[in-house]
Chain A
Amino acid sequence: MVHETLAATNAIVVLDVALPGIVWGWIITMNMWAKSIGTGIIFLTFFLLKKYPEQTGFIRFPAVAISIVFIHLFLFFTVIDLHQMFRFWHIFFYPHLTSAITIGAWMATGFVGLLFAMAYAIYLKKDEAMYDKFLGWTVLLAIPVTLYTAGLMAESTARELWQMPTESAQMILAAFLAGTATMILLGGNKFSDAIKKDLAIILGLSAFAAFTLYMSEYIFGGMKAEEVAATLAFIKGGEYTAMFWIGQVMAFLVPMALVCLSLKNKSYYLLKIAAVSALVGLWVSKHVWLVIPQLLNMS
């Protein structure tokens, strides 16, 4: 945490308030993780229905059901993290449009409405054309719903580690990673080899791209800003080092390796292990990245 101290000044804080605690903790991690699954599965459903319309019709209902469940988990964790949760409605009645939280809340509301419309179309009306029409709009809204948290992190001026556009890229990649992993687990063995191969490639490439971004920040982030260097110290030998690497290995390295093996051996079983590892590791990675900037004293 100390970066500019000189032996000559030997400056030591001898009386002040306690170091700040973690304000956004595991509840916000759950929020981001559940949202990645909720929007990611929609991206993947759109992709599969476009590319393999004949073979993937059966995913329509389970995909929208999973999205509804995880988006509601995301909303649940968002609301319970508020210190005044019964004032949640203020966001709609006193909206402040410069805030990513406001934009996110509105977009998420529209997204949930469209998910229910899709569920209605496929479950009650049994109308696939109507479902697909709604799906187009849902995919469009899934983009801002995925990205608004990155906007929120960018607006968190105090937390130098959370930079744009890196956070946007990480959010989209997390959605692809989580969406693909969920789709792999959802599809069972019903998918053809071509679909399995596509899912494996998307999972592997998302993991590779996200890992590259994390490593780029890990190695170079501290060279531009001393606050970033001080923050990264918590994962470079500091108290979150082990957790950071557990997250990186489970979310990205293991899935990358298993994807290669599963493509080589045509093993769908390995792909399922990769999917589970990615989902667990993503939670851990997101949590570490969320928490470490909050350990830094701001004043």
Chain B
Amino acid sequence: MQLGFLVDLHLCMGCKGCEIACKVENEVPLSTWRLRVKYVDVGAFPETKRTFTPLRCNHCANAPCERICPVSALHYIENGIVNIDKERCIGCAGCVMACPYGAIYIDPQTQTADKCTYCAHRIASAMMPSCVVACPVEANIFGDLDDPTSNISKYLQQHQGDVQVRKPEKGTDPHHFYVGGGNVQLNPLASFRGEGHNLFNNLTHLPIGGHH
């Protein structure tokens, strides 16, 4: 079994349902993200378009994070998921340096590495990842890439020629695909990124503290 993800970017409408479902399911701390949806605006008024790209760990078949981890805290499980053992992690951040997709972060609460696990704990109970369940337009398609009759395999067959992975030149062999994506969505160097367009800006306070 080789589990994989596919996101149909034609369908995604940027509602961030997957993002929130992931936060809740995995108790992802404030300011960190296992999955997020990036918004990129394209074009000039009045010919403008907003694109939405869910980004998560790709569960690479040749995962640099797994290779660099000195204690095998990052490891493969038999269904192809790159999982993390937070009890074993020493917090060296080698994996943060190695992942070409910025998919790993140091959890500020546990001080260990964390990332999307394709909800390995739910899959162990035969449940779909929480982001898949939350998506109102079924843009997230999840399943067994080794099974030609699975939804994801059929989707890949039907959309040949329009399937991409992020940064294929890195040789990581991602098990996460995008249909309908363009350079602007999948290549971080292809869009301008100014400061101040974050999910959370710097916290500001009203000048009312201490007064009646």
Asked whether any CB of chain A lies closer than 8 Å to the CB of B77, the reply is no
Over the window 85-121 of chain B, the binary record of Cβ atoms lying under 8 Å from chain A Cβ atoms (1 yes, 0 no) is 0001111111011111111001000011000000000
In the complex, besides A17-B198, A298-B100, 17 extra interface pairs with C-beta distance below 8 angstroms are A1-B189, A4-B189, A9-B43, A11-B190, A12-B193, A15-B39, A16-B36, A16-B193, A81-B93, A87-B91, A101-B92, A101-B94, A102-B70, A105-B70, A156-B64, A297-B188, A299-B38
Cβ–Cβ contact A16 & B70, under 8 A: no
Asked whether any CB of chain B lies closer than 8 Å to the CB of A264, the reply is no
Which residues of B pack against A, CB within 8 Å? 31, 33, 36, 38-44, 50, 55, 64, 67-72, 88-94, 96-103, 106, 111-112, 166, 170, 172, 183-184, 187-195, 197-200
Q: Which of B64, B91, B97, B193 contacts A82 (CB 8 A)?
A: B91
**A-B contacts, 20 listed (Cβ < 8 Å):** A2-B191, A3-B189, A4-B183, A11-B42, A13-B40, A15-B197, A16-B199, A18-B31, A23-B93, A84-B111, A87-B89, A95-B70, A155-B67, A155-B98, A156-B64, A156-B97, A158-B98, A227-B189, A298-B100, A299-B166
B166: chain A residues within 8 A (beta carbon): 299
Asked whether any CB of chain B lies closer than 8 Å to the CB of A99, the reply is yes
How far is the CB of A67 from the nearest CB of chain B, in Å? 24
Cβ–Cβ contact A12 & B192, under 8 A: yes
Cβ–Cβ contact A5 & B97, under 8 A: no
In A68-108, the 8 Å CB interface with B consists of 81-85, 87-88, 90-91, 94-96, 98-102, 105
A91 and B90 in contact, given A96-B70, A158-B100 (Cβ under 8 angstroms): yes
Over the window 229-261 of chain A, the binary record of Cβ atoms lying under 8 Å from chain B Cβ atoms (1 yes, 0 no) is 010000000000000000000000000000000
Cβ–Cβ contact A10 & B90, under 8 A: no
Over the window 146-161 of chain A, the binary record of Cβ atoms lying under 8 Å from chain B Cβ atoms (1 yes, 0 no) is 0000001001111100
The 5 closest A-B pairs by CB, nearest first: A83-B91, A298-B102, A157-B64, A11-B191, A101-B70
Cβ–Cβ contact B68 & A94, under 8 A: no
Over the window 284-299 of chain A, the binary record of Cβ atoms lying under 8 Å from chain B Cβ atoms (1 yes, 0 no) is 0000000000100111
Which residues of A pack against B, CB within 8 Å? 1-5, 9-20, 23-24, 81-85, 87-88, 90-91, 94-96, 98-102, 105, 152, 155-159, 226-227, 230, 294, 297-299
How far is the CB of A55 from the nearest CB of chain B, in Å? 43
How far is the CB of B142 from the nearest CB of chain A, in Å? 20
A96: chain B residues within 8 A (beta carbon): 69-72
Main SS at interface, chain A: loop
A14: chain B residues within 8 A (beta carbon): 39-41, 50, 197
A9: chain B residues within 8 A (beta carbon): 42-43, 184, 190
B199 — nearest CB in chain A belongs to which residue?
A17
A84 — nearest CB in chain B belongs to which residue?
B91
A227: chain B residues within 8 A (beta carbon): 189
Cα distance, A299 to B56, chains bound together (Å)? 10
How far is the CB of B75 from the nearest CB of chain A, in Å? 9
Cβ–Cβ contact A299 & B190, under 8 A: no
Cβ–Cβ contact B43 & A10, under 8 A: yes
Cβ–Cβ contact B103 & A100, under 8 A: no
A95: chain B residues within 8 A (beta carbon): 70-71
A101: chain B residues within 8 A (beta carbon): 68, 70, 92, 94
How far is the CB of B119 from the nearest CB of chain A, in Å? 20
Cα distance, A155 to B67, chains bound together (Å)? 8
Q: Which of A4, A158, A159 contacts B187 (CB 8 A)?
A: A4
Cβ–Cβ contact B92 & A299, under 8 A: no
Cα distance, A155 to B42, chains bound together (Å)? 35
Cβ–Cβ contact B90 & A84, under 8 A: yes
B101: chain A residues within 8 A (beta carbon): 158, 298-299
Cβ–Cβ contact A5 & B192, under 8 A: yes
Which of B88, B112, B191: most chain A CB closer than 10 A?
B191
Cβ–Cβ contact B189 & A2, under 8 A: yes
Cα distance, A157 to B95, chains bound together (Å)? 9
How far is the CB of B175 from the nearest CB of chain A, in Å? 16
How far is the CB of A95 from the nearest CB of chain B, in Å? 7
A159: chain B residues within 8 A (beta carbon): 97
Cβ–Cβ contact B39 & A16, under 8 A: yes
